[in-house]
Amino acid sequence: VPTYKVAMTVNGKPRALTLDPRTTLLDALREHLHLTGTKKGCDHGQCGACTVIVNGERINACLSLAVQHDGDAVTTIEGLGTSERLHPMQAAFVKHDGYQCGYCTPGQICSAVAVLEEIRRGIPSHAQADLMTAPQPTGAEMRERMSGNICRCGAYSNIVEAMADVAG
């Protein structure tokens, strides 16, 4: 199998990889860069556990080939905060108990950070017509935008509370 070179900025640092072109972004992050905060749940775009932020927008890293991201800026959960200095969304998840087992949490938090940014920038959701983008997002809007992130423990209401806390 031929290999390809990919250069990305990951969590603010330049990273160069030589990869089998079939490698997903998720596997590049986890297996090649050892950034295991990003989780593999379904590996086919159904659960959201693998959500990362690429050039400011959230994507499912399992559905994207790493070679498509040459030159891109990727942020994973490891790039949002540290255990000494949590990102405000991480702190809000702690405060509001926005998790139980924690497996989906990195993807939930990456998605939640990107969702508030989508709302701030006025990017429309795929929602029903009555879920309008507003400066103060409603719980319904946040739930709809977070619908691609599945939590088997059912921490959904606390996740929305955490997001509302950060949204202010």
Residues that bind ligand FES (CB under 6 A): 40-43, 45-50, 60, 62
Question: Taking the complex as a whole, how short is the minimal distance between the CB of residue 162 and ligand FES, in angstroms?
Answer: 21
- Nearer CB in complex with ligand FES: 24/137: 24
Closest CA to 54 of 103, 100, 110: 110
Diameter of the chain measured on Cα atoms: 51
Question: Taking the complex as a whole, how short is the minimal distance between the CB of residue 30 and ligand FES, in angstroms?
Answer: 11
Cβ-contact 77, 110 below 8 angstroms: yes
How many Å separate Cα 101 from the centre of its chain? 17
- Nearer CB in complex with ligand FES: 58/87: 58
Paired with 18 in beta bridges are 5
Rounded Cα distance between 100 and 97, Å, is 7
Question: Taking the complex as a whole, how short is the minimal distance between the CB of residue 79 and ligand FES, in angstroms?
Answer: 18
3-state DSSP of 89-134: HHHHHHHCCCCCCCCCHHHHHHHHHHHHHHHHCCCCCCCCCCCCCC
- Nearer CB in complex with ligand FES: 31/43: 43
- Nearer CB in complex with ligand FES: 63/164: 63
Question: Taking the complex as a whole, how short is the minimal distance between the CB of residue 37 and ligand FES, in angstroms?
Answer: 13
Q: Residue of minimal CB distance from ligand FES?
A: 62
- Nearer CB in complex with ligand FES: 79/106: 106
Question: Taking the complex as a whole, how short is the minimal distance between the CB of residue 34 and ligand FES, in angstroms?
Answer: 18
